[in-house]
Amino acid sequence: MSTLTINPPAKINLSLKITHKREDGFHGLKTLVLPLPGLADELRFESAEKFTLHCDTPGVPTDQSNLVSRALHLFEKNTGEEARYRITLKKRIPHGAGLGGGSSDAASTFLALNRLTGTSVPLSRLAEWAGQLGSDIPLFIYESASWCRGKGEIVEPLNLPWTYPILLFKPRFLISTPWAYSRWSNSQQIPGISYTPTKVGEIDLYNDLERPVFEKHRFLGELKQFLLEQPETQTSMMSGSGSTIFAVLRDQKDAAPLIERTLKELDPTLWTHLSIF
């Protein structure tokens, strides 16, 4: 196999509980992660004389700092296989949105190279390698809804019977994940914004990072509260460290009127996406 195209999916966090600050500087957490259908980047691998990375989005680095490059070189180091491919990355998942785009790209690079080189490294081993690059990369190796623990690198895939449409809203600004975690312990709730866990089916939805993020970015708290109060919405929450706020809808036909109303009343420049399961 000399050519392969793979689609790294976005994700949302249905729940995110921070348990403690670890001695290594990271935060202990427990999070339920759900891959999103219909929202994915594209990675195309073509045989070449040497490895190169190309991207269609201005501002995305294509040097050794990109997680795709780092994943490829780690795969080469651990398997002894040369990965001489021209990789073309088409970005569809917004950056700095709490949707896991870069991490998913890295995980998909491991999966693609495993197929292209015929090395058949077990998924558990690929997940170990992925964890060396970032604590939220291993979850994408399993291509499944998962519980993630530790600092995010302990992944337990599960069969999650999720059927509710999810509507994403993202403003133009980005949020740094390390910054959000660094502000967690001393952050305060904003009056008038609901941080109370909600339930959809048998799943409890909550996000401990809403407190520090909303404290600085008040608009995200206002967006969540607005969505909670709309008749089309079962619940609303921030994904990961933001800046995406998602609404769980009662029916997919409710998406169009909710998008129209939200853009009109809050911000006409919001990026939106509807995922149907």
Banded pLDDT at 152 (limits 50, 70, 90): confident
13 and 145: one domain?
A: yes
pLDDT 10s digits, 44-67: 999 999 999 999 988 889 999 999
Tokens standing for residue 163: 């059927």
Among 157, 191, 206, give the residue marking a domain's end. Answer: 157
pLDDT 10s digits, 92-140: 999 889 999 999 999 999 999 999 999 999 999 999 999 999 989 999 9
Q: Which residues contact 26 (CB under 8 A, 6 or more apart)?
A: 135, 151, 181
Residue 5 has pLDDT above 70, yes or no: yes
Banded pLDDT at 24 (limits 50, 70, 90): confident
**CA separation for the pair 181, 170 (Å, rounded):** 20
151 and 248: one domain?
A: no
Residue 232 has pLDDT above 80, yes or no: yes
For residue 132, give the CATH number of its domain: 3.30.230.10
List the domain range (segments joined by +) for residue 190: 166-275
Among 110, 125, 157, give the residue marking a domain's end. Answer: 157
Residues 273 and 39 sit within 8 Å (Cβ to Cβ): yes
**What integer is the mean pLDDT of 39-43?**
98
**CA separation for the pair 72, 228 (Å, rounded):** 42
pLDDT of residue 26: 78
How many C-alpha atoms does 28 have within 13 Å on its Cβ side? Answer: 6
185 and 133: one domain?
A: no
**What integer is the mean pLDDT of 192-207?**
96
137 and 170: one domain?
A: no
Number of domains in the chain: 2
11 and 120: one domain?
A: yes
Nearest to 76 by CA among 101, 52, 102, 51: 51
139 and 174: one domain?
A: no
For residue 214, give the CATH number of its domain: 3.30.70.890
64 and 175: one domain?
A: no
144 and 253: one domain?
A: no
Among 103, 138, 157, give the residue marking a domain's end. Answer: 157
146 and 170: one domain?
A: no
**What integer is the mean pLDDT of 196-201?**
96
184 and 127: one domain?
A: no
Nearest to 85 by CA among 55, 33, 59, 46: 46
* Confidence (pTM): 0.94
Residues 249 and 228 sit within 8 Å (Cβ to Cβ): no
Banded pLDDT at 1 (limits 50, 70, 90): low
212 and 240: one domain?
A: yes
89 and 19: one domain?
A: yes
Nearest to 96 by CA among 239, 246, 249: 239
